[in-house]
Amino acid sequence: MSERPLILVTNDDGIHAKGIHELVEVVQLFGEVVVIAPEVAMSGMSNAITSDKPLRVQKLSEDPRLTVYKCSGTPVDCVKIAFNHLLDRTPDYVVSGINHGSNSSISVIYSGTMGAAVEGCLHGVPSIGFSLLDFSQDADFSKAKIFAARIFQAVMDNSLPKYTCLNVNVPTGSPKGIKFCRQASGKWVEEFDKRIDPHNRSYFWLSGSFINFEEEAKDTDIYALEKNYVSVVPVKVDMTCYETLDSLKNWKF
Amino acid sequence: MSERPLILVTNDDGIHAKGIHELVEVVQLFGEVVVIAPEVAMSGMSNAITSDKPLRVQKLSEDPRLTVYKCSGTPVDCVKIAFNHLLDRTPDYVVSGINHGSNSSISVIYSGTMGAAVEGCLHGVPSIGFSLLDFSQDADFSKAKIFAARIFQAVMDNSLPKYTCLNVNVPTGSPKGIKFCRQASGKWVEEFDKRIDPHNRSYFWLSGSFINFEEEAKDTDIYALEKNYVSVVPVKVDMTCYETLDSLKNWKF
């Protein structure tokens, strides 16, 4: 008897977020599901790992088709402890999300959702991070779920190259289709909102707005999303800038 | 009168680590220095940012040539708040480290030291992360400082392409020279050390060992370090896997 695929699900918005429950519903169509997610929101945790304090893991429910854990660590910690300790076989896929809010362009480097997907592909498993461009807690994931199912099916059919995962972002409303794109060059322009606490000490809230460095480009994730397409960017773990490597070899010391 | 360069220094081992004090000594040779570092150790914090709690910043000392702050946030938070709030002019360089321990190969994606360097280059400033392959608190940085000075001088002479920073790792002992390399393909094989607390609840310590996936390759940072050279890898912020992007365009939905 052939085993159904084992699918590991995580996120960075935490075990109680709506988006992860929606993603579980999608991938249950395709296989057996194990969920392990942070017990609290871990947005912006990137590829962070926890080595200076111990991790706690608690099983919340168990079912032949769906087992759920929460973990005190980061999204990457969740993936690591699942592969190395919790699961009795290597999962066939890792999916992360559905994130409440965009992880397009440079946000990929800050995103805990994508941190978990990168960690999944480092373990040699096809991995996908899904995000919806809506930060609200009760966001409507109905269209995002349909596209997540289509993309998950395509990954099952085609697999992915080793050490490469997908960064999928879904616009709100009714997306027109799917575009494969590159990461737009852009950055967050931060503003720090300075306030004074009741003890007369200052503190700062990080806020900011996104700037797209290449508004004319039509092959970026930002462009696809602006045109109401789902953007799919293949993300690799090799951060070497090969073009620069060639020119560095001319440096004199 | 020409201004001396302004150099922003940060790290992930925290303001009290030996390595950052050694790096300050190096870059003071080249310009005016502002230090802002996490108030506690933030190893493994990657590109993490803090948006769910406010940040505290405290000036520890001020001098025309050296101003020092500590910050409650991550290394990336430190860089962001320096550029956006603390500094009255854009720094000319960002340097991070000297890290106690290696950030070669895949460790680049987990490293807070490199997170800060990546953030510096995203702000359009030549940025370098320095690491010494010695985790000990009282590591001997004397050789690393000499190489850091040589590499900093070379960056001043040659600059760096936009949105690209350097990941510099220094072996212990007496390095034979400097090699420009690519990031080795490898991963951490984690083990979780399971223990029981006095209240009979389990907890886990993350530990692990590194596996090099390409031991034969001679153009990687791991190889250079094994041969007792300082490795310098140019790191870019565009994580798009362009090779995969071409093949994805053949997918059918």
Q: How far is residue A134's CA from residue A152's CA, in Å, rounded to a whole number? A: 21
Q: Rounded to the nearest 10 degrees, how much is the dihedral formed by the CA atoms of A104, A183, B212, A162?
A: 90
B88 touches chain A (CB under 8 A): no
Percent of chain A whose predicted confidence (pLDDT) is above 90: 94
Distances (CA, A) of A176 to A38, A166, A212: 33, 19, 22
- Please state the φ and ψ torsions of residue A132, each to the nearest 5 degrees: -115, 140
Place of tokens 């997540």: A148
Encoded tokens for A216: 């004319």
Q: Using CB atoms within 10 A of its CB, is residue B142 exposed (0-12), middle (13-18) or buried (19+)? A: exposed
Query: Average pLDDT of A131-154?
Result: 98
Confidence band of A206 (pLDDT split at 50, 70, 90): very high
Average pLDDT of chain A? 96
User: Does residue A196 surpass a pLDDT of 60?
Assistant: yes
Which residue does chain B place closest to A79, by CA atoms?
A: B190
| SS3 of residue A87 by DSSP | coil
The Cα A96–Cα B192 span in angstroms is: 22
For residue A59, pLDDT over 80 is answered with yes
* Pairing between β-strand B6-10 and β-strand B32-38 as defined by DSSP bridges: parallel
User: Do the chains contact at B240 and A236, CB–CB below 8 Å?
Assistant: yes
Which residues 139-178 of A are in CB contact (within 8 Å) with B?
150, 154, 157-158, 160-161, 163-164, 178
Whether the pTM exceeds 0.90: the reply is yes
- Calculate what percentage of chain B has a pLDDT beyond 90: 94
User: What is the distance, to the nearest Å, from the Cα of residue B63 to the centroid of all Cα atoms in its chain?
Assistant: 25
Q: With a cut of 70, say whether residue A2 has pLDDT above it.
A: no
Chain B positions touching A106 (Cβ under 8 A) are: 122, 237
Q: Dump pLDDT digits (tens) for B185-233.
A: 999 998 899 999 999 999 999 998 999 999 999 999 999 999 999 999 9
The residue type found at B99 is N
Q: What is the pLDDT of residue B2?
A: 57
Q: Which CATH superfamily is domain A6-182+228-237 in?
A: Survival protein SurE-like phosphatase/nucleotidase (3.40.1210.10)
Spell out the domain ranges in chain B. 6-182+218-238
- The 3-state secondary structure of A193-204 reads EEEECCCCCEEE
Q: Is the pLDDT of residue A195 over 50?
A: yes
Does residue B211 belong to the interface with chain A, where contact is any CB pair within 8 Å?
Answer: no
- Sign of the CA dihedral with A105 first, then A109, A112, and A113 last: positive
DSSP one-letter string for B78-126 = HHHHIIIII-SS--SEEEEEEEES---GGGGGT-HHHHHHHHHHHTTS-
Residues B3-49 have pLDDT tens digits of: 899 999 999 999 999 999 999 999 999 999 999 999 999 999 999 99
Which phi and psi (to 5°) does residue A217 adopt? -65, 140
The percent of residues in chain A predicted with pLDDT above 70, rounded, is 99
Check whether A219 has a pLDDT greater than 80: yes
- ipTM for the assembly: 0.94
Q: With beta carbons less than 8 A apart as the criterion, state whether A182 and A219 touch.
A: yes
Q: What is the pLDDT of residues A90-102, one digit of tens each?
A: 999 999 999 999 9
What average pLDDT does range A10-26 have in this prediction?
A: 98
- Taking CA–CA distances from A76, the nearest residue in chain B reads B110
Segment B89-143, tens digit of pLDDT: 999 999 999 999 999 999 999 999 999 999 999 999 999 999 999 999 999 999 9
Interchain contact, B244 vs A161, CB within 8 Å: yes
Beta bridge partners of B14: none
**Architecture per CATH, B6-182+218-238:** 3-Layer(aba) Sandwich (3.40)
Show residues of chain A in contact with B137, CB under 8 Å.
Answer: none
The helix/strand count (H/E) of chain A reads as: 7, 11
A51 touching B (Cβ < 8 Å): yes
pLDDT at A252: 86
Q: Closest to B206 (Cβ–Cβ): which among A77, A106, A154?
A: A77
Record: contact B109-A192, CB cut-off 8 A: no
Is B210 an interface residue toward A (CB < 8 Å)? no
Q: Do A55 and B206 touch (CB under 8 A)?
A: yes
pLDDT band at B64 (very low <50, low <70, confident <90, very high): confident
